[in-house]
Amino acid sequence: MNIIQIDNWRDYRRDGEKFLHTATEAYNKKKKAFSTDTLYNVTCIAIEKLIMAFLMKNGDLAENHTMADLLRALQLHLGDIPDLAEKLMYLDTFQEICSLDNFTIHTPSEEDVVKMLAIGGDVRVVLHPYLYERSTSTIQ
């Protein structure tokens, strides 16, 4: 099957890498401007950008941009990825902001931030071969 890549996927990859780097450096340097909430959001944006780059490169998009929706889209290409699935679902436990009726936000702890940054790194490692190789058709 021929895959028609969606333009600008490399921009998403670049942005994802930069957001993850920013969150990691801000945490490591204990930047006061980066609360645990901010680090959560920047890390999740990084993960979203990396996953979207992968999907766009493969001519696909996620239905929505919750971690659950991004995971479902990833699994269509990569199959069952239980370890990563559990980690992405963990990230969805901190915010439910899609509905004004059920709007909830839980402030992450320092331990949560460490785990979140590790998850960002895990997503990067899983997707790296697909995002930096020339021919990476994952659709059969």
pLDDT in tens, 29-60: 999 999 999 999 999 999 999 999 999 999 99
CA-based radius of gyration for the chain: 15
DSSP element (H, E) containing 35 = none
Question: What amino acid is encoded at 137 in this protein?
Answer: S
**Mean pLDDT, rounded, of the chain:** 90
- Find where tokens 């058709």 sit: 137
Residue of 53, 43, 45 lying closest to 130 (CA atoms)? 53
pLDDT in tens, 83-106: 999 999 999 999 776 666 777 788
**List of residues 6+ apart from 87 with CB closer than 8 A:** 119, 122
Burial of 51 (0-12, 13-18, 19+ CB in 10 A): buried
Both structure tokens of 100? 């004004």
Considering the chain, what percentage of its residues have pLDDT values greater than 90?
A: 76
| 96 compared with 123, residue with greater pLDDT | 123
Q: What's the pTM value of the predicted model, to 2 decimals?
A: 0.89
Q: What is the SS3 assignment for 105?
A: strand
| 137 compared with 95, residue with greater pLDDT | 95
Tell me phi and psi for residue 136, to 5 degrees.
Answer: -135, 40
**List of residues 6+ apart from 135 with CB closer than 8 A:** none
Do residues 90 and 115 touch, judged by C-beta distance below 8 A? yes
Domains of the chain, earliest start first: 9-131 (1.20.120.330)
